[in-house]
Amino acid sequence: MTKRATGLIGSRLGYRINLVGLIGFAVVLFWAVIALFAADLIPYSVGEIVDTDYFGPMHPGLWLGSDYLGRDMLSRILMGARYTVGISLAAVTIACVTGVVLGMAAAVVRGVVDSVLSRILDAMNSIPSKLFGLMVVAAVGSSIPVLILTLSAIYIPGAYRFSRSLAVNINTMEFMTVARIRGESLAYLIGAEILPNIIGPVLADLGLRFVFIVLLLSGLSFLGLGVQPPYADWGALVRENLGGLPFGAPAVIVPSIAIATLTISVNLLIDNLPRKIRDRSAP
Amino acid sequence: MSDVITNWNKPDDTMVEDAIRRGASRRELLKMMMAGGASLAAGNIIFNHATAALAATPVKGGALKAAGWSSSTADTLDPAKASLSTDYVRCCSFYNRLSFLNEGGTPQMELASSIDSKDAQTWTVKLRKEVTFHDGKPLTADDVVFSLKRHLDPAVGSKVAKIAAQITGVKAIDKSTVEIALTSPNADLPTILSMHHFMIVADGTTDFSKGNGTGAFTCEKFEPGVRSIGLRNKNYWKSGPNVDSFEFFAISDDNARVNALLSGDIHLAASINPRSMRLVDTQKGFVLSTTTSGNYTNLNMRLDKTPGHNKDFVDGMKYLVNREQIVKSAMRGLGIVANDQPVSPADFFHNPDLKPKPYDPDKAKFLFKKAGLLGQSIPVIASDAATSSIDMAMIIQASGAEIGMKLDVQRVPSDGYWDNYWLKAPIHFGNINPRPTPDILFSLLYASDAPWNESQYKSEKFDKMMLEARGSLDQAKRKELYSALQVMIADEAGTLIPAYLSNVDAITGKLKGLAPNPLGGMMGYAFAEYVWLDA
Amino acid sequence: MRARVPSLVLSRLLIALVTLVIVSFAVFFATTLLPGDTASILLGQAATPEAVAGLRTAMHLDEPALFRFLRWCLGLLRGDLGTSYANNMPVATLIAGRLVNTLKLAGLTALISVPLALTLGITAAMWRGSVYDRIVTIVTIGVISVPEFVVATSAVLLFAVYLKWLPALSFTNEIHSFYDLLRAYAMPVITLTFVVSAQMIRMGRAAVIETLNTPYVEMALLKGASRPRLVLKHALPNALGPIVNAMALSLSYLLGGVIIIETIFNYPGIAMLMVDAVSTRDLPLIQSCAMIFCLGYLVLITAADVIAILANPRLR
Amino acid sequence: MANLVEIRNLKVEATTDSGRRVEIIKGVSLTIAEGESVAFIGESGSGKTTIAMTLMGYARAGCRISGGDVWVDGDNMVTLSEKQRAAIRGTKIAYVPQSAAAAFNPAATIMDQVIEVTRIHGLMSPAAARRKAIELFRALSLPEPAAIGNRYPHQVSGGQLQRLAAAMALIGNPKLVIFDEPTTALDVTTQVEVLRAFKAVIKQYRIACVYVSHDLAVVAQIADRIVVLKSGQTQEIGTTHDILTQPRHPYTQSLLAAFKPKPHSRTAAPESPSHPLLEVDAMTVGYGPVQRDGQPLIVAVRSVSLKVERGRNLGIVGESGCGKSTLARAIAGIHPAHAGDIIFDGHELWNTARKRTRSQLRELQIVFQHADTALNPAKSIEDILGRPLAFYHGMDRKARDVRINALLDMVHLPRTVRHRHPGELSGGEKQRINFARALAADPKLILCDEITSALDTVVTAAVIELLKELQRELGLSYVFISHDLSVVEAICDEIIVMYRGQKMEEITPAERKAPQHPYSKLLFSSVPRLDPSWLDALRQDPDQVRDYCQR
């Protein structure tokens, strides 16, 4: 255990939580809540043009200014949270669950399964993500499910590579041998023996992947794929209002900040997850 | 910003210039400026300032750099295949046409010294002498015959195959005379021949990557999807061009294009996003050149499919569209409210008495109720492929929402849009480039057998009147007929044309001699030959 | 003693072949899923059925796609990348110039970002838990969490539009001096460095910290070694494996992932080329680009493994 | 004479992950004279290593010296700055780690690391340093001293590494060397050589040394004085002779007691010889692809046969790499045997566990050497013990709880540990859990693979007692694999001596004292005795040693 700069909270709960993690959690929670209740929070409907001016400044009524069509930015960001958080979360979950399970399985089973899986996923990995996205959307059009599946498909190989390399080490441990000669099934081996040992790094990896997915989502929207109008994820908001950058229009600054806060805090949270306190005799 | 009072700025300024070209009277202009909130005095200043921008004396030399907005490996120097503005610009700089349109939209001779006909069905084209191709070969009638006949061969994949179809016979009478026979009389042939696709190439050309034409520039370098560089054609048969070299490429990102201009990397940024104009304003020494040439984005409701087959629905939509707001919000003023028909105010045949339908939600609501479609969710296909169609869609959607009309806007990728959605979906957006004559527009878009009959509009009456107008050489009669046709389209067809888009090219103050042209922005894409760079 | 490296490279070549085959088939089937074909796309609005049919025959697109694909594969074996459907140019000539551009950009970016990332990652690990470390960590995440087109556009506005120090576009055809080179590449390279460095920094830091907890580092400490010596001489060599691996992955992004950068700086690279190819359904071009990306990726990964092996005597 | 080291009322505290501070060294005071060798002895967790470390002014992560002074040759290591400490480390005080294998940087050559001290402190030119190193290699009787330095750590044996580590410590002419359990990881025969080497150089260079160990017999050979530690406090300090002859402190007595050979109440061989519980016939185990001669590339076990009667124990002894573990793994079906039959309880077993029936797997359990890798660190003891119960006996939650408590009682662990994770237990406790898990299956035979080698003498003795006790209660049989003869002697009815994958001879307790085979003789003679003069008195045929231990 290393000494931590921040103080301890909640050691009464038998967990050691640290301040940075708490802040991260607060922000993530904030956006999650926004995402859930966006529909009730927005002052104007997302598509409604409320300002004759465009890239309007912040002022009462339009707290975050107006966008390139003169729509209320606050409403659009609140709704955008729903898409950015929702889609990225769904995608990262699918990607990591699939990737990690496959990775662990490959490490345990070894042999042909391993090499075949590795080859295929390597191949997938070698196709540039944005191009992959482009082709998929060109082929089957852009809807939220498609978007989610595409994003996850793009990040499965990474998760696979990562978890496999971890699992390979665990697999050499004697407790794996013990479990094997007990006659345990593959599911038990990866679920109950390996996973608990790699969950930490896997989560950390998930955090970074989340950032990349959020960014890729905005990248794809740069290439004109994404949520259906009038709705837009944050990346799309930044994109469509990029013209406001020269004037420092809130329409482009705010969504950028929103993205940053979300991604940064997710990582802070994961880097500082609460740890179970082993020392039982703690006060 | 020199002479700008209150919220009066370049956009308005360019609007005025544009109006002047369309021959708007001084009274109209002043009215326009009052609306803009400028004082009478200011109005005068702008008026002078605007007109001043149009006259000066050329300067020779300099390397011209300009950026269009779209380019790909499909770029071509084959005029017949030319599909993007990028191709037009290049073709204009390497080739010549038999005729071209001047600012006023009246045909002028280029490679042809004359194009005459008695019955408007058989035409005689006399060619200029002493015109040579870049490779030194002199221009002959055979080249013209070859160039025109190509369009009839499906293997060529000509964009104007349909229009060329009316050309039944092309033959060389002698070295410098060509005879063109048409299926039916068409008074517009000289105008038709001014289309970019009818550029004249050397007889028997198969490899077009060399750009061997008679044009103002010789092709130094052509990399599809990257750039083209042309050098001044030393022995060009016309005077000019003014610049020594001309580099053209495309920057697809709107902001990047404007930034490149502002940073001085290029002299002209074609068709900039209206929202970038504010940025251009903040920087000294840049001019905006606006052209309203009848390019428009329209909402098509197929009359042969639900819900379009219900007249009330179609009419309802026409009243649901807030045309002013589209022009104001979606186009930031760079457009003119249109009246659901394709002939632009810039056109001689435009019908000024046909007023746009007003924004009338209640009437729309009434009609939708009548049609029994109120409250139903109706899919509307939009795409970046059709300029600002997504913004329009969202504006219509919003006003629909207010009267309880659910419009389900579906954005589809621009990749493959024309192939998969345009003309096919029951309700979709289209984008029509300016065509030189009403006849071309009508025969392409509204005749019962039109290849791009966007709303599947069919009317024998219309077809008959169209043919009549085409054949006649009496302008007054034609104007009358075309006006009637415009009314028919506005009231009967399912094509909702909310506004004519203005095209804005941003240029450095150094770039002079850029005059608008009804064939499109960048002086009908032919600017390179005429402009010059002030030292 | 080094017998292992050649054998590994050899086995990797075989694997590479397999992967390439997988990729090309995958890409092929993906392309067949795309609606429309080159003919109809080229005709665009003018795509009347008869016109499309005519052009199709003219372009020999009327024979089944699988045939054309297999013929392309055969050509590939003879080192012939085929000719582009869109403009009848040999794919090789289309690609050549732009591949060089891409490699130049990638190379320069690597030249900047790799040393930068290494230094930051290692120093952060060296003073782990310190304020410096925390700043580096936060900043790296902060940097990657800004969309690259925002970074790029802001850079252009600042350096090109307002300060007029650098050109807004990278004209590769106007580079005559080293100075030109710097000016032309400064902004794309900076932007890309922003994008790729973060991952490398994070991985570098993590790997070094991991090795810092090993007994042999403690041993070195008990020999009186200084912190830098501990990290550079004892921790780093053993952390090299994972670090280079992370770098390979990050750098592979520089081949096909830079579409946006190429768009904004109008830089004629190979990523945009493939986007064009996809949008015109230009099978030979799509395939060739895909092959190049895949190959580049494999080369990087293999290189990483080789380095890891050379760095680790036990594996030699 | 002047004291080189004076530790006064030393206190070290550790910070637990709940931020709580615990004192792990509670006011220790002791002195070491110039050239004197003092042993710190005590079980794991007694703080012996921690104290030794403080001599270098070093406390492991999470620990800090909270009080007292550590005077070494006039400097108080507690108050010095990190920079000053660094200057002293390696020059004045040097450290020989427990596992040299881990303490050598795998990426650098041995020579570089040995002479690194001279580099860091700029003691001498690299050339000179090399000469000195080679000289030390010679003194430590390392093979080919001139060349060995150019190798990488993974290219030399454990015993050699251990000596190289010593060379690494001695190169800076330290006044004081700390040996931290330097021979624990070694085979007995190797241990003898290493101890000899250490003793020689210490004498030769007149160095004071602190020898940290849990093995009294080993310590007896080296130390002038012994400090007995328990839970961070000194129990007893005295000369080696005093400690061995009249231990005063009860803990010290228990240490000594652990060496008294326990008479193993042997269950007489059953008269009516029913079929044996386990019969292995001409088993050959190997690695790598099968060669032309039909044998695997590397043969680890060459046609070994053995028999285990019900309720009786078989011991397999031999040095690391002799194939004894491979044999066990082959029997358990982990590493499929290449040839030979396994008959268990009258039925022939498949050579791979995958094909064996669940009950066969259940009845034949194996317990591994390293409890910390054999127990999943991420799971609670409850889950670890609960799984076999659910898996083999399909017990529900309640039934499991009862059984788990019973098992914990059997292995003499408090029931509260069920909520702990392996990481929170001591080595001995872990090994008991490891064993309890095997019991949970209620097997007929348990293969014990080196289960005591990681434990200190006292704990080992306790575990052995436990095994015997359980055998009496449950009528188990053990196959007991170890390199530690004293342990095997303590529990087994027959002993097989293995060498190079072959069975050298079979010894039954009666004739045990007189092994016939020369290798067995060598092996048995190498077991350290409590007698301080044993090492010096020990005469082994050098040729034999060379023949049998080229490690």
Token pair 């190429």 is found at C262
Task: Name the helix (H) or strand (E) containing D96.
Answer: strand D93-96
- Return the pLDDT at C27: 87
User: In which band, very low, low, confident or very high, does the pLDDT at A87 lie, cut at 50, 70 and 90?
Assistant: very high
Contact between C138 and A264 using a beta-carbon 8 Å cutoff: yes
Query: Which of A127, A136, A267 is opposite residue C23, by nearest beta carbon?
Result: A127
Residue A134: list chain B partners with CB under 8 A.
Answer: 415
Domain that holds residue B400: 296-501
CB D77 within 8 A of CB D88: yes
Q: How far apart are CA D542 and CA D59, in angstroms?
A: 42
Q: How far apart are CA B215 and CA B269, in angstroms?
A: 23
Q: Which residue of A has its CA nearest to B258?
A: A243
Residue B422: list chain C partners with CB under 8 A.
Answer: 45
- Return the pLDDT at D546: 65
Residues B282 and B349 in one domain: no
Strand-pairing partners, residue A15, are A276
Instruction: Write the pLDDT tens digit of every residue in D372-424.
Output: 889 998 899 999 999 999 999 999 999 999 999 999 988 888 888 888 888 87
Tell me the nearest-neighbour CA distance from D154 into chain A, angstroms.
19
Note whether A230 contacts B: Cβ–Cβ < 8 A: yes
State chain B's mean pLDDT as an integer: 85
Q: How far apart are CA B455 and CA D459, in angstroms?
A: 92
Residues B131 and B71 in one domain: no
Contact between C265 and B256 using a beta-carbon 8 Å cutoff: yes
Instruction: Write the pLDDT tens digit of every residue in C178-187.
Output: 888 888 898 9
DSSP type of residue B353? T
Instruction: Write the pLDDT tens digit of every residue in D319-360.
Output: 877 888 889 999 999 888 888 899 998 888 888 888 899 989
List of chain B residues with pLDDT < 70: 1-56
Residues D235 and D368 in one domain: no
- Return the pLDDT at B428: 95
- In the complex, which subunits touch C with 3 or more CB pairs below 8 angstroms? A, B, D
Residues B513 and B394 in one domain: no
Residues B497 and B380 in one domain: yes
Q: How far apart are CA A11 and CA A79, in angstroms?
A: 37
Strand-pairing partners, residue B501, are B295, B335
Residue B401: list chain A partners with CB under 8 A.
Answer: 45, 47-48
Q: Which residue of A has its CA nearest to B384?
A: A224
Q: Tokens representing D201?
A: 């150089």
- pLDDT, mean of residues C135-145: 85
CB B436 within 8 A of CB B101: yes
Residue A146: phi and psi, rounded to 5, are -55, -45
Mutate to test the interface with D, among A175, A194, A275 (most CBs of D within 10 A): A175
**Which has the higher per-residue pLDDT, A12 or A112?**
A112
Query: Which of B259, B262, B418 is opposite residue C44, by nearest beta carbon?
Result: B418
Q: How many Cα atoms are found within 13 Å in the side-chain-facing hemisphere of C305?
A: 15
- Return the pLDDT at C202: 86
Q: Regarding beta strands D63-72 and D75-76, do their DSSP bridges make them parallel or antiparallel, or are they unpaired?
A: antiparallel
Instruction: Find how far residue D433's CA is from the centre of its chain.
Output: 18
Q: Measuring CA to CA, which residue among B48, B67, B509 is closest to residue B289? A: B509
Residues of D with CB under 8 A from a CB of A: 15-20, 61-62, 332-334, 353, 356, 358, 361, 366, 368, 370, 373-379, 387-388, 391-392, 420-421, 423-424, 437, 441
Contact between A181 and D20 using a beta-carbon 8 Å cutoff: no
Please check the confidence at residue A46 and state whether its pLDDT lies above 70.
yes
Note whether B413 contacts C: Cβ–Cβ < 8 A: no
Tell me the nearest-neighbour CA distance from C214 into chain A, angstroms.
14
Contact between C33 and A140 using a beta-carbon 8 Å cutoff: yes
Q: What percent of chain C is predicted at pLDDT more than 90?
A: 17
Q: How far apart are CA B102 and CA B517, in angstroms?
A: 7
Query: N- to C-terminal Cα distance for chain D?
Result: 40
Mutate to test the interface with C, among B152, B196, B226 (most CBs of C within 10 A): B226
Domain harbouring D30, CATH code: 3.40.50.300
Q: Measuring CA to CA, which residue among D97, D242, D114 is closest to residue D167? A: D114
Q: How far apart are CA D88 and CA D75, in angstroms?
A: 9
Q: What is the pTM of this model?
A: 0.84
Q: Measuring CA to CA, which residue among B61, B27, B15 is closest to residue B345? A: B15
Q: Measuring CA to CA, which residue among A73, A219, A96 is closest to residue C146? A: A219
Q: Regarding beta strands D208-213 and D176-180, do their DSSP bridges make them parallel or antiparallel, or are they unpaired?
A: parallel
Note whether B159 contacts C: Cβ–Cβ < 8 A: yes
Please check the confidence at residue C37 and state whether its pLDDT lies above 50.
yes
State chain D's mean pLDDT as an integer: 85
Domain that holds residue A147: 3-278
Tell me the nearest-neighbour CA distance from D103 into chain C, angstroms.
4
Please check the confidence at residue A4 and state whether its pLDDT lies above 50.
no
**Which has the higher per-residue pLDDT, C21 or C41?**
C21
Residue A174 placed within a domain: yes
Residue A117 CB coordination number (10 Å): 18
Contact between A279 and D17 using a beta-carbon 8 Å cutoff: yes
Contact between A279 and D361 using a beta-carbon 8 Å cutoff: no
- Return the pLDDT at A105: 95
Residue B279: list chain A partners with CB under 8 A.
Answer: 243, 246-247
Torsion of CA C28, C29, C32, C33, to 10 degrees: -140
What letter represents residue B254's amino acid? D
Instruction: Write the pLDDT tens digit of every residue in A209-253.
Output: 888 888 888 888 777 677 887 888 898 899 889 888 888 889 999
Contact between B76 and C87 using a beta-carbon 8 Å cutoff: yes
Q: Which residue of C has its CA nearest to A134?
A: C275
- Return the pLDDT at A224: 66
Q: How far apart are CA D308 and CA D478, in angstroms?
A: 8
Query: Are chains A and C touching, using the cut-off of 8 Å on CB pairs and a minimum of 3 such pairs?
Result: yes
Pairs of residues, one from chain A and one from chain C, whose beta carbons lie less than 8 Å apart: 133
What is the domain count for chain D? 2
User: In which band, very low, low, confident or very high, does the pLDDT at D286 lie, cut at 50, 70 and 90?
Assistant: confident
Q: How many Cα atoms are found within 13 Å in the side-chain-facing hemisphere of D141?
A: 16
Q: Tokens representing B175?
A: 């070295």
Residue A283 placed within a domain: no
Q: How far apart are CA D162 and CA D196, in angstroms?
A: 13
- Return the pLDDT at D323: 85
For chain C, the structural domain boundaries read: 4-34+88-311, 39-80
- Return the pLDDT at C82: 87
Residues B441 and B464 in one domain: yes
- Return the pLDDT at B25: 44
Q: Which residue of B has its CA nearest to C40?
A: B419
- Three-class DSSP labels, C32-76: HHCCCCHHHHHHHHHCCHHHHHHHHHHCCCCCCHHHHHHHHHHHH
What is the domain count for chain B? 4
- pLDDT, mean of residues C243-268: 88
Q: How far apart are CA D123 and CA D201, in angstroms?
A: 20
CB C143 within 8 A of CB C194: yes
Q: Measuring CA to CA, which residue among B241, B160, B238, B156 is closest to residue B195? A: B160
Residues B370 and B455 in one domain: yes
CA geometry: angle D185, D187, D193, nearest 5 deg: 105
Residues B220 and B345 in one domain: no
Token pair 């190379």 is found at C107
Domain harbouring B148, CATH code: 3.90.76.10
Contact between A2 and C129 using a beta-carbon 8 Å cutoff: yes
Residue D147 placed within a domain: no
Residue B256: list chain A partners with CB under 8 A.
Answer: none
Q: How far apart are CA B480 and CA B492, in angstroms?
A: 18
User: In which band, very low, low, confident or very high, does the pLDDT at C172 lie, cut at 50, 70 and 90?
Assistant: low
Note whether B266 contacts C: Cβ–Cβ < 8 A: yes
- Return the pLDDT at D318: 84
Instruction: Write the pLDDT tens digit of every residue in A154-206.
Output: 999 989 988 998 898 888 888 999 999 898 999 999 999 999 988 888 888 88
Domain that holds residue D364: 278-375+445-516
Residues B195 and B285 in one domain: no
Q: Measuring CA to CA, which residue among A251, A233, A234 is closest to residue A242? A: A251
Q: What percent of chain A is predicted at pLDDT more than 90?
A: 33
Q: Which residue of B has its CA nearest to A223?
A: B413
Residue D107: list chain C partners with CB under 8 A.
Answer: 237-238, 311-313
Please check the confidence at residue D272 and state whether its pLDDT lies above 60.
no
Q: Measuring CA to CA, which residue among D45, D33, D424, D472 is closest to residue D239? A: D33
Q: Give all strands (DSSP E) within D309-412, no chain letters.
A: 314-317, 339-344, 347-348, 364-367
Contact between C256 and A128 using a beta-carbon 8 Å cutoff: yes
CB B89 within 8 A of CB B528: yes
- What does chain A come to in residues? 283
Sign of the torsion formed by the C-alpha atoms of C269, C274, C275 and C279: positive
State chain C's mean pLDDT as an integer: 86
Please, which residues have CB within 8 angstroms of residue C213's CB and are 6 or more apart in sequence?
none
Q: Which residue of C has its CA nearest to D168?
A: C223
Q: How many Cα atoms are found within 13 Å in the side-chain-facing hemisphere of D7?
A: 25
Listing DSSP states for C159-225 in one string gives IIIIS--S-SS--GGG--SHHHHHHHHHHHHHHHHHHHHHHHHHHHHHHHHHHHTSHHHHHHHHTT-
Residues B226 and B285 in one domain: yes
- Return the pLDDT at B492: 93
Please check the confidence at residue D117 and state whether its pLDDT lies above 60.
yes
Residue D142 placed within a domain: no
Please, which residues have CB within 8 angstroms of residue A60's CB and are 6 or more apart in sequence?
none
Q: How far apart are CA D276 and CA D471, in angstroms?
A: 17
Q: Is residue B54 classed exposed, middle or buried when 0-12, 13-18 and 19+ CB atoms within 10 A define those classes?
A: middle
Mutate to test the interface with B, among C38, C43, C45 (most CBs of B within 10 A): C45
Query: Which of A4, A127, A238 is opposite residue C290, by nearest beta carbon?
Result: A127
Listing DSSP states for B58-90 in one string gives -----EEEEEES---TT--S-TTT--SHHHHHH
Token pair 């060619």 is found at B127
Tell me the nearest-neighbour CA distance from A190 into chain C, angstroms.
23
The hierarchical CATH code for the domain C4-34+88-311 is 1.10.3720.10
Q: What percent of chain D is predicted at pLDDT more than 90?
A: 25
Query: Are chains D and B touching, using the cut-off of 8 Å on CB pairs and a minimum of 3 such pairs?
Result: no
What is the domain count for chain A? 1
Strand-pairing partners, residue B379, are B408
- pLDDT, mean of residues C191-210: 88
**Which has the higher per-residue pLDDT, B104 or D488?**
D488
Query: N- to C-terminal Cα distance for chain A?
Result: 19
DSSP type of residue D212? E
- What does chain B come to in residues? 535
Mutate to test the interface with A, among D20, D22, D329, D376 (most CBs of A within 10 A): D376
- Return the pLDDT at D472: 86
Q: How far apart are CA A92 and CA A148, in angstroms?
A: 9
Query: Which of B275, B282, B398 is opposite residue A48, by nearest beta carbon?
Result: B398
Task: Name the helix (H) or strand (E) containing C228.
Answer: helix C227-229
Residues B495 and B523 in one domain: no
Residue B463: phi and psi, rounded to 5, are -60, -45
